[in-house]
Chain A
Amino acid sequence: MDGFIATGLIGISLGAQYALLALGFTLIFGILGVINFAHGGFYVLGGYLAYAAGHYLGISYPLAVLAATFGTAALGYLFELLVLERVVDDQLTTLMLTLGLYLMMSTGILVVFGPQAPDFKFPVSGVLRGGGLYMPIENLIVLGVCLAAIVFVYLLVYRSGLGRALRALAEDRQVAAAQGLRPKLLFPLAFALATGLAGLTGALVTPVLSLAPYLGDPALATSFLIVILGGLGSVGGATAAAFIVGMVEAYSAVYLGGSKGALALFVLVLIMLVVRPSGLFGRESRGA
């Protein structure tokens, strides 16, 4: 029974990480209508920026995480403003551009840092035990930061003026502009928020799991799985689906064997696509 609960805790921890990663992905689709193939790249870049900030500049890990978050957000802002904004309504072009950006990012990381995984460790280690349960302290810290960031995103999207404007743009760009909203100001901000979240996730998670130039692929695949399950563009759906994915992955790894986790997830997504193609909370139209 203790093992079952401990596995659940790991599932929650994974779910929180996935939620943070997938929120950015679903926000970009919900608000801009863009499927960001570079999302996994921003996750990896966040990890490498945090690593470089600590390793080469000698700054503390919390500050390195902040630097990675703002660095990836700044890159996302500039990419949307200078490149994506001109073609934001053309889904095929934006898809190719974000895919191109991802290739540039992953190749750039490979050139700068090399193919070897860098020695990037979480600064705190140890295990917390109690009541027959145990949990690595680093996982608990990551879980806490992820949950705080998720709450922050929710407050920003649903309780702030900026979030209200972003949701209005997601719902109907023409009506929003008719009331005075400026898409060209708000779209880069939305993109920066999303890429900053991916960078934050990378900076938090990669020292616990691993860091390598190719990790953007699985990060993107996981984001896709989650938003398909939750419903493209749905913030609530992505969060719920992320925790479902975390749980399925954790329990299937323990009870079915490590390699069965991905298989179980894809089966789950296939069933969802057949039974409910719009996802758990999806609508036919976009909207955060």
Chain B
Amino acid sequence: MSRCGAELAVDRVCKRFGGLKVFDEVSFTIAPGEVLGVIGPNGAGKTTLINVICGKLTPTSGRILLGGRNVTGAPFHALSRAGLVRSFQQTNTFGGASVGENISRAIRFSGGRRASSDGISHMIEKFELASRLDERSDKLPYGLQKMLGLILTYATRPKVLLLDEPAAGLERRERTRIDDFVRHAQRELGCSVLIVEHDMDLIRRLCPSVLVLDAGRVLASGPPAEVLSRKDVLDAYVGAIDEEAA
């Protein structure tokens, strides 16, 4: 299957709600097949950043480029169709529909782009959903609901994946499934991946590069070993976050 990843460029993006500045002048680029981790304390603007990139919110200023095309201000559903696909902190499945119907809808609604059935089947097997295809998705254990949500994003064959705290609510032993998912999506689709996450172990394992958001500004960016050892980052966040994640 052809790889479909595209570059995501966020160029001096700013978001304000009235007089409240959520973040300002945020810029980064994720090349096809690369993974960028975004970390920061609660309230740093991480989820708002994802909401702005995916079209749920309109940026106050700045540009968002998908594969070189300016998609700033495009609506959420249109960006999903264009391949800029996100997950949510909570599960993103149709609770009343079966696992199989959920996957079928994701393939159908994504407008003809579809991941190979082999790629989807691989993850269904890997995440122990193969024997549960007829079960209602809201009856699954929470961890499996979250993995199903990720499979749904994969099934739409994304060019860019935005994962909002994919490990939140998962038991520690379940979190390696996120690694499996991201690596599978990278390998099979070549998509760019942005991960917002509090689990620093997961960030270290998956992200060659991280960006630290604090109070609406980029505090640091670079390889996790370097960024996470910086005193200002450690002082401000990582100690507290690691304690929280543990």
Residues of A within 8 A of B (CB): 161, 164-165, 168, 171-172, 174-183, 283, 287
Contacts and interface: CB of A to CB of B under 8 A. Distances in A.
Name the prevailing secondary structure of the B interface residues.
Answer: mixed
A174 B86 CA distance: 11
A181 B105 CA distance: 10
A183 B77 contact: yes
B97 A171 contact: yes
Contacts, number: 54
B95 A168 contact: no
Interface string B92-131: 1111110000000110111100000000000000000000
Contacts of A183: 77
Nearest to A175: B92
B94 A178 contact: no
Contacts of B108: 161, 164
B80 interface: yes
A171 B105 CA distance: 12
B72 interface: no
B90 to A, nearest CB: 10
Contact of A182 (B77, B86, B153): B77
B105 A287 contact: no
Contact of A179 (B78, B95, B97, B152): B152
24 contacts: A164-B108, A165-B109, A168-B105, A168-B109, A171-B95, A172-B94, A172-B95, A174-B88, A174-B92, A175-B93, A175-B94, A177-B76, A178-B77, A178-B80, A178-B86, A178-B88, A179-B80, A179-B110, A179-B156, A180-B77, A180-B81, A180-B110, A181-B77, A287-B96
Contacts of A182: 75, 77-78
Contacts of B111: 180
Given A181-B77, A182-B77, A183-B77, A176 B95 contact: no
A177 B80 contact: yes
The 3 closest A-B pairs by CB, nearest first: A180-B81, A179-B109, A180-B80
Contacts of B212: none
Contacts of B88: 174, 178
A157 B4 CA distance: 33
A233 to B, nearest CB: 11
A180 B85 CA distance: 9
> Interface size bucket, B side?
20 to 34
Contact of A180 (B93, B95, B96, B156): B156
A188 B106 CA distance: 22
B39 to A, nearest CB: 23
Contact of B92 (A178, A180, A181, A287): A178
The interface centre, meaning the residue of B85, B96, B153 with most chain A CB atoms within 10 A of its CB, is B96
A186 to B, nearest CB: 10
Contacts of A172: 94-95
A178 B93 contact: no
A171 B80 CA distance: 18
Contacts of A175: 92-94
A164 B152 CA distance: 16
Nearest to A183: B77
Interface string B23-63: 00000000000000000000000000000000000000000
A287 B78 CA distance: 24
A172 B80 CA distance: 16
Nearest to A177: B77
Contacts of B95: 171-172
B105 A164 contact: yes
Contacts of B86: 178
A168 B110 CA distance: 13
Given A168-B94, A171-B95, A172-B94, A178 B85 contact: yes
Nearest to B54: A178
A179 B105 contact: yes
Contacts of A179: 80, 105-106, 109-110, 152, 156
A161 B186 CA distance: 30
